[in-house]
Amino acid sequence: MTHPCPHAALHDPRFHADPQAVLQRLRDTHGPVVPVELEPGVRAWLVIDYTIITAWCRDTRTFSRDARRWRDWRAGRVRDDARVVPMMAYRPNAMFADGDRHLRLRRAVTDALGRAEAHRIAADARGFAHRLIDGFCARGRADLLADYARQLPLLVLTRLVGFGDNAGRRLAEAVRGMWDGTDAERANAAYERTLSEAVTAKSARPGDDVLSRLMAHDAGLSREEVLHHLVLILGIGDESTANLIGNTMRLLLTDREFAADLAGSRVGIDDAVDRALWSDPPVTNFPVLYPVRDIELAGGRIIREGTPILLGLGAANRFLADQYRERIQETANRAHLAWGVGPHRCPAQDIARMIAGNGVEILVERLPELRLAVPESELRWRNSPFARALTALPVVFTPQPPERVREQAEQTATVPAAEGEPRHRDARADTGTEDPRGGARPSRPRRRDRWRRGR
């Protein structure tokens, strides 16, 4: 018996209204590994237990990341134009690699990203955040997703990688089509075409950017490998960071208790980001494992070799948080699975946190009276099997001229530091002692977050 019913239809909008309730019912019936349907006729398993996800991700002998093992796709039971194929089909990048090949590819990615200067990324995030807010702060209302969260990471990452803004916009549109499965085949083609054009242009004129470093790395990446690592960096990085900003802002706009803690300086912006990563991580039910042999579960159920096993990161976080709620809330720890676990743990998590943290902090400092423009019950989640993201986040606030608001914000701005540095620093204090990792270490004491929620 390989796929008992009932299963969770991850393509059904009703699932996304309250996925935890659906998965709790399935957990009660099936245990911590439950049958799911990604789209009509495309079946998989979803593991929703923290301990099992951790163990299976580290068990590289039993579980592979190579999507060419996908049993139903190999047999032709999943068509090439299926909505989920662009996200699940094999690509020659580190996400889909095992063993020595994974080590070679991952080293190229971590080296290329690791040479990016943290203070430059933070400065880009702050600068673009101010520019985006300038564009809507006089209106008194905005969609924080369309007007802000979906634009900020893309602007920062395309500059980091070495792309122009025009290519970045085309990439973002294609990526969302791939995540949601809306005309996914065309979206994937458009994405790869845009990347190929950018790689060709950069080959002629390399620079001090991630793309040039990937092409010149001693790991000897082929043109195809370079292209598909850009899919990984931009496709996953942009979409997940945008959704992290959106989900964090939703938390601040709907959780009165947490917002009060933030206003009273009992927690900071970093804590808000981590709370969102615990409760609604932007990437969930992804990536995918493929067992290299049949796996027997409790009750005699069998996961056949080559059957996709999705990682239910969000559900696993929630179930664990429910069990240890007080400890997790008191320590605001980062033991969540939002960045993955094991050899494939996200190598760009520090960059994503930096963009999201700066983006959220500047937004709430510049527009302190933000409030939802609709009842919380009217917020809708996107119908994606792999992402936890809102369709829109409409807000209202007191209109203010861009120049005056920005001047006030710059006088009191605080920004999250890179991982390992003091969490907040005054934006004007970058003239202190040099930090050996690059940039300046602040010489002023930490300034507390100050934000009050308008109602």
> What pLDDT sits at residue 2?
46
- Assess whether pLDDT exceeds 70 at residue 300: yes
* Poorest-pLDDT segment among 172-176, 306-310, 442-446: 442-446
Which one has a higher pLDDT value, 196 or 367? 367
Within 13 A of 441's CA, how many CA atoms are on the CB side? 9
Burial of residue 442 (number of CB atoms within 10 Å: 0-12, 13-18, 19+): buried
184 confidence band (pLDDT: 50, 70, 90): low
Gap between the Cα atoms of 10 and 100, Å rounded: 34
- The token duo for 261 is 């803690």
State pLDDT tens for residues 203-213.
888 999 999 99
Gap between the Cα atoms of 355 and 390, Å rounded: 19
Domain with CATH 1.10.630.10 in the chain: 92-275+345-413
Task: Classify 96 as helix, strand or coil.
Answer: helix
> What pLDDT sits at residue 245?
98
Q: Which amino acid is at 132?
A: L
> What pLDDT sits at residue 321?
82
Compute the average pLDDT of residues 81-105: 94
> What pLDDT sits at residue 54?
97
Pair 342, 56: CB distance under 8 Å? no
Q: Which amino acid is at 308?
A: P
Other C-beta atoms lying within 10 Å of the C-beta of residue 245: 29
- Assess whether pLDDT exceeds 90 at residue 188: no
Compute the average pLDDT of residues 298-321: 93
Gap between the Cα atoms of 355 and 277, Å rounded: 14
> What pLDDT sits at residue 180?
60
* Chain centroid offset of residue 184 CA: 19
Gap between the Cα atoms of 118 and 193, Å rounded: 30
> What pLDDT sits at residue 420?
35
Pair 90, 67: CB distance under 8 Å? yes
Other C-beta atoms lying within 10 Å of the C-beta of residue 148: 25
Pair 453, 418: CB distance under 8 Å? no
State pLDDT tens for residues 276-299.
999 999 999 999 999 999 999 988
State pLDDT tens for residues 431-453.
233 332 333 333 323 333 333 33
DSSP assignment letter at 138: T
Which one has a higher pLDDT value, 214 or 175? 214
State pLDDT tens for residues 201-260.
888 889 999 999 999 999 999 999 998 898 888 878 888 999 999 999 999 999 988 888
Which one has a higher pLDDT value, 168 or 376? 376
Q: Which residue has the tokens 């009992």?
A: 266
Compute the average pLDDT of residues 160-172: 74
What is the CATH number assigned to the segment(s) 1-84+284-337? 3.30.43.20
CATH assignment of 92-275+345-413, among 2.40.70.10, 1.10.630.10, 1.10.1660.10, 1.20.58.1690: 1.10.630.10
Domain with CATH 3.30.43.20 in the chain: 1-84+284-337
Task: Classify 392 as helix, strand or coil.
Answer: coil
> What pLDDT sits at residue 165?
64
State pLDDT tens for residues 153-165.
989 998 999 887 6
Task: Classify 53 as helix, strand or coil.
Answer: helix
Q: Which one, of 275, 285, 435, 420, lies nearest residue 360 by Cα? A: 275
> What pLDDT sits at residue 358?
97
177 confidence band (pLDDT: 50, 70, 90): low
Which one has a higher pLDDT value, 325 or 143? 143
Burial of residue 126 (number of CB atoms within 10 Å: 0-12, 13-18, 19+): buried
Distance linking the first and last C-alpha atoms of the chain: 54
* Poorest-pLDDT segment among 79-83, 150-154, 190-194, 392-396: 190-194
Q: What is the mean pLDDT of the chain?
A: 83
Q: What is the pTM of this model?
A: 0.84
State pLDDT tens for residues 110-123.
999 999 999 999 99
Compute the average pLDDT of residues 41-66: 97
> What pLDDT sits at residue 326?
53
74 confidence band (pLDDT: 50, 70, 90): very high
Other C-beta atoms lying within 10 Å of the C-beta of residue 443: 12
- Assess whether pLDDT exceeds 90 at residue 407: no
